[in-house]
Amino acid sequence: MSEDVQAHIKTYMKVGGALAVLTALTVIVSYIDFWGVPFAVFVALVIAATKGSLVVSFFMHLIEEKKMILATLVLTVFFFIVLIFLPLLGHADRHGEYYTLPNANAPTAAPAAGH
């Protein structure tokens, strides 16, 4: 039992370290402009997803969890994806012309966005 926990503790420390490294990485990468915004978004999300799965797998012990819980989470993730993408697709697919109007206060937002 106790050795088991000891082994776990080693993992926790490693995961903690990995998370710190990945945090630094994502910040650094965000300052470098590789191939524009879409690529930056992609990289940031990949790093965040990696960090997230480390937390879920090890801190939350999901990799050793029972299948009842895994099944519930798979279901949740599926609906999560539906929730993210269907409204988006609904907006993307429209009839006729569709213009977005600029923010009414664009001037006030500009100073913040400017630098």
Partner 1 sequence: MDIPYIVEERADTGLNNVKLGIWLFLASEVMLFGALFSSYVLLRLMAVEWPFGVDVLNVPLGTFNTAVLIGSSVTMVMAYASLKMDDFGRFRMWLAATIGLSLLFMVVKGFEYNHEFDIGNFPWTSTYLAIYFTMTGLHALHIIGGVVVNTYLLFPGSKMWTTNKAQFTNRVEAAGLYWHFVDLVWIFLFPVLYLL
Partner 2 sequence: MADVTTTEQAAPAADAHGHEEHAHGDHGHHDLGFWQTYVFSVDHKVIGIQYAVTGLLFLLFGFVLMMLMRWQIAYPGEPIPLIGEWLGDERAPGGIMLPEFYNQLGAMHGTIMVFLGVVPLAVGGFGNFVLPLQIGAPDMAFPKLNMASYWSFFVGGVVMFASFFVPGGAANSGWTSYAPLSVFATTGQTMWLVGMIFLITSSLLGSVNFIVTTIQLRAPGLSFMRLPFFVWAQLVTAFLLLLAFPPLEAAGVMQLMDRVAGTSFFLPSGLVYADAPWEATGGGSVLLWQHLFWFLAHPEVYVLILPALGIVGEIIANNTRKPVWGYRVLVYSVVFLGFMSFVVWAHHMFLTGMGTTMSSFFQTTTMIISIPSVVILSALFITLYGGSIRFTVPMLFALAFLPMFGIGGLTGLPLGLSAPDIHLHDTYYVIGHFHYVVAPGTLMALFGGIYYWFPKATGRKMNDFLGRVHFWGSFISINVVFMPMLIQGLAGMNRRMYDGGEQYLMNADVLWLNEVISIAAWVLGLFQLPFIYNFFRSIKHGEKVDGNPWQATTIEWQAPSPPPHGNFSAPPVAHRGPYEYSVPGAARDFLMQGEPDTAAEPAKV
Chain contacts with partner 1 (rule: CB under 8 A): 1-2, 5, 8-9, 12-13, 15-16, 19-20, 23-24, 26-27, 30-31, 37, 40-41, 44-45, 47-48, 51-52, 55-56, 59-60, 66, 68-69, 72-73, 75-77, 79-80, 83-84, 87-88, 91, 100-103, 105-106, 108-109, 112-115
Determine, following the binding rule CB under 8 A, whether residue 86 of this chain makes contact with partner 2: yes
* Part in contact with partner 2 (CB under 8 A); list of ranges 22-30, 35-43, 56-64, 95-103: 95-103
Torsion of CA 29, 27, 58, 82, to 10 degrees: -80
Chain-centre distance for alpha carbon 81: 12
Residue with tokens 């409204």: 87
12 touches 58 (CB < 8 A): yes
Determine, following the binding rule CB under 8 A, whether residue 35 of this chain makes contact with partner 2: no
23 touches 51 (CB < 8 A): yes
Nearest C-alpha neighbor of 61 from the set 1, 2, 112, 5: 5
Determine, following the binding rule CB under 8 A, whether residue 104 of this chain makes contact with partner 2: yes
Determine, following the binding rule CB under 8 A, whether residue 111 of this chain makes contact with partner 2: no
60 touches 11 (CB < 8 A): no
Q: Which residues bind partner 2 (CB under 8 A)?
A: 68, 75-76, 79, 82-83, 86-87, 89-91, 93-96, 98, 100-105, 109
